[in-house]
Structure 1
Amino acid sequence: MKRLTYVLVLIAFFTLTACGTTTGSRTGSGAAMGAAGGALIGSMSGNAGRGALIGAGAGAVGGYLHDQHRKGNID
């Protein structure tokens, strides 16, 4: 059951990352999904809080870069 939960969270993570139409919404959704994925991975190593912080940062950067790419500012 625990493994199924991890798989479902990861599927949601990849499906919903950087959703939105504005820079703020794409960055925010990337940060939220990154935090969820990071907490999940961090909980496996015993530190969900640190994983969530790292995941949120990585997700926010990813969402921002995705937004800039969609706008044509990054190749």
Structure 2
Amino acid sequence: MKSKLIVLIALPLVLSLSACGDTWGERAVTGGGIGAGTGLAIGAIAGWPLLAPALAGAAVGAGIGAATTPKQ
């Protein structure tokens, strides 16, 4: 139970820092990569199967990275 609580708290914090780059594409790719790694780590810590958290993390990270592209 404690590990699931940690995951629920850590996931939004980690994903909020999930993109690097200046363009929409760069931020989507780096956000997806960081999100996939984060999802994989959280899934491993929580004892879940690893594919689903990695895919979910990649999708959310790419979305957040693309959505937070600074206006130039």
Same fold (TM over 0.5): yes
Cα-Cα RMSD: 2.2
Percent identity between the two aligned chains: 38
Instruction: Look at both structures and tell me which one has the larger radius of gyration over its CA atoms.
Output: 1
TM score, norm. by length of structure 2: 0.70
* Residue 71 (1) aligns with residue 71 (2): yes
Structure 1 runs of 4+ aligned residues shifted over 3 Å read none
Unaligned runs of 5+ in 2: 1-10
Aligned residue identity for 1:29: T
Aligned to 1:55: 57
Instruction: Report how many aligned residue pairs link the two structures.
Output: 59
Larger relative helix fraction = 1
- With a CA cutoff of 8 Å and minimum separation of 6, indicate the structure with the bigger relative contact order: 2
TM score, norm. by length of structure 1: 0.67
Aligned to 2:6: none
Unaligned runs of 5+ in 1: 1-9
CA offset digits 1:21-54 (Å, max 9, x no partner): 1111000000000000000111123211111000
